[in-house]
Amino acid sequence: MIRKLNARPLFGLGLCLFLILAASVLLAASSGRKVYVIPIFGTVDAGMAAFMERAYQQVSKDPCGLVVIKIDTFGGRVDSALEIVDILLRIPEDRSIAFVDKKAISAGALIALACGDLVMRPATTIGDCAPISYTQEGVEMKGEKFQSPIRAKFRALAKRNGYPELLAEAMVTPEKVVYAVEMDGKRLFMDAHDYEDLRPADKERITSKKTVVAEGELLTMDASEALDLGFSKMTADGVDEMLREMGIEDYDQVPIEQTWSETMVRFIESIAPVLLMIGLAALYMEMKAPGFGLPGIIGITCLAIVFLNQYLVGLADYLELLIIVLGLILVGIEVFVLPGFGVAGFAAVICIAVGMILAFQGFVLPDPAVPWEGELLLHNIAVVIGAYLAAFLIVLFFLRYVLPLFSSSREGPYLKTSLKDAHADSSETGRIQVGDAGVALTYLRPAGKANFHDDLFDVVTEGEFMPKGTPIIVSAVKGNRIIVSRREPS
């Protein structure tokens, strides 16, 4: 007998699956569009560029997410700013918004214009992106060689996102004069050369003319001026108000903050010259002292921190590591194999200097087409040489004023009976007396060997380090110890 198939269980199962699927769709729809808020604050540096790369990797996984760059910066390194701009250009124009929270000056303005839209909080400012350098005379503005590539970048960003190109260029070049003219009921921006080239008939069609940027000035706008000149899309008190004015109501705001490690990396980058100076001073002291001890550990640790930090921000690589490691190997040869300071020590200094200079920049040789790379190379050379000189002065100060304190006498209390008149004669001290002149046969650190009367003696200085061959004189004989000092030329 053939039984009929009961369809009720199958119908119930299908209904359950349909309800589960519908609920999932509704739940996903109710979660809203994600708005990623990425802060740009403080000095624009390599650490900030590394943070932006990490943030982009996170937001790129959401093809529908909106990216808001919250800016508060006076600017910083040109190369880091351009790297951030390249990262932002990977985001589609309709998905990126620059929100000026307080200020977007210099490199901050370049970053702001890389976004598809610009929104500013009331009383905030944007602009002034002329390349400058700091000299002994003060702030010096770079010439056309530096301005030209940056101006071209501003022009390209303005063209991409619909900002006035002439005004964008006026943020970089103080010689550019820009007018706002009313012609046939439309407002146009012209520089001085374009205005002078107009035909008389065209000039008669102009109903008003206003100087927006005067000669010798750099364009810097507040929120209302940026809105009037066509840069800012609106003025809003915060990100929520901005999104509401844009008609975006169903959204989830996702802040992307720097991690503690990224904050630490940026802090170490700011004090890297100081760590470099301490590391070099410690290694120099290790080369002057016998064996391997605390100065060597401190020196290697400081250099390792600086290098690892530069590696994390993407400036250092294996080439720099190999050069620095070679320098440290030469330091070891100088300490353990060839005491004193000779060819190995000098080569170690050169290797560590070259490795650190390369670790502070993302290139080996500067590109002539990128003028700020040459400036950065000179700056890095100055930082490393300055660290070497400061380290040398620190070592001299330590050996002259600090180290003798550890060997000086200390006040009592003492026992009333002392061994003042006691002595122990030895075969060496019996053959030498105070005032005898000789020469150091080894490096005195502070102990070593010396030659007196064509005979070999173990001697010790009063804390002073003396190289081999130094003329010396016996200043005291205490028990079995022969104490010497540097002999002044007669």
Question: In this predicted model, what pLDDT tens digit does every residue of 14-72 receive, in sequence order?
Answer: 555 555 554 444 434 445 789 999 999 999 988 999 999 999 999 999 988 999 999 99
User: pTM value?
Assistant: 0.69
pLDDT level of residue 183 (50, 70, 90 thresholds): confident
Residues 125 and 274 reside in one and the same domain: no
Is 308 a member of any domain?
yes
Residues 463 and 377 reside in one and the same domain: no
The percent helix, strand, coil of the chain (3-state, each to 5) is 45, 20, 30
Residues 444 and 393 reside in one and the same domain: no
Whole-angstrom CA distances from 222 to 100, 104, 132, 435 are 10, 10, 22, 81
Structural domains of the chain, count: 3
Which own/partner pairs from 299-306 qualify as long-range (CB within 8 Å, at least 24 positions apart)?
300/328, 302/275, 302/276, 302/278, 303/275, 303/276, 303/279, 303/328, 303/352, 303/356, 305/268, 305/275, 306/268, 306/272, 306/275, 306/276, 306/279, 306/356, 306/359
Is 215 a member of any domain?
no
Residues 129 and 83 reside in one and the same domain: yes
Residues 394 and 301 reside in one and the same domain: yes
Strand 186-191 to strand 178-183: parallel, antiparallel, or no bridges (unpaired)? Answer: antiparallel
Residues 238 and 119 reside in one and the same domain: yes
pLDDT at 353 over 50: yes
pLDDT level of residue 342 (50, 70, 90 thresholds): low
First to last CA, the chain: 134
Residue 88 contacts residue 114 (beta carbons within 8 Å):
yes
Residues 241 and 274 reside in one and the same domain: no
Q: What is the pLDDT of residues 64-101, one digit of tens each?
A: 899 999 999 998 888 899 999 999 999 998 999 999 99
Residues 39 and 111 reside in one and the same domain: yes
Q: Is 23 helix (H, G, I), strand (E, B) or coil?
A: helix
Q: Is the dihedral of CA 113, 114, 117, 121 positive or negative?
A: negative
* Range in 151-155, 328-332, 404-408 the model is least confident about: 404-408
3-state secondary structure 235-247: ECCCHHHHHHHCC
Residues 237 and 108 reside in one and the same domain: yes
Is 286 a member of any domain?
yes
Q: What is the pLDDT of residues 197-218, one digit of tens each?
A: 888 888 888 888 899 998 888 9
Is 458 a member of any domain?
yes
Is 167 a member of any domain?
no
Give the mean model confidence (pLDDT) for residues 125-131: 86
Residues 323 and 447 reside in one and the same domain: no
The pLDDT assigned to 191 comes to: 87
- Separation between Cα atoms, residue 209 and residue 193, nearest integer Å: 15
The pLDDT assigned to 266 comes to: 86
DSSP structural state of residue 5: P
Domain limits for position 88: 32-135+222-249
- Separation between Cα atoms, residue 33 and residue 186, nearest integer Å: 38
The pLDDT assigned to 292 comes to: 66
- Separation between Cα atoms, residue 40 and residue 7, nearest integer Å: 62
Percent of the chain with pLDDT over 70: 83
Residue 190: count of CB within 10 angstroms of its CB: 20
Both tokens assigned to 247: 């008609």
- Return mean pLDDT, the chain: 82
Q: Is the dihedral of CA 49, 51, 57, 60 positive or negative?
A: negative
Residues 275 and 365 reside in one and the same domain: yes
Is 3 a member of any domain?
no
Is 52 a member of any domain?
yes
The single residue listed with the structure tokens 């624009």 is 44
In the chain, how long is the greatest CA-to-CA distance?
A: 134
pLDDT at 102 over 50: yes
Is 467 a member of any domain?
yes
Closest Cα to residue 350, out of 370, 368, 372, 323? 323
Residues 238 and 115 reside in one and the same domain: yes
- Separation between Cα atoms, residue 36 and residue 33, nearest integer Å: 10
Give the mean model confidence (pLDDT) for residues 434-450: 85
Higher pLDDT, 479 or 99: 99
CA-angle at 236, arms to 234 and 242, nearest 5°: 80
Give CA 451 to chain center in angstroms.
53
Q: Is the peptide bond before 255 cis (omega within 30 degrees of 0)?
A: no
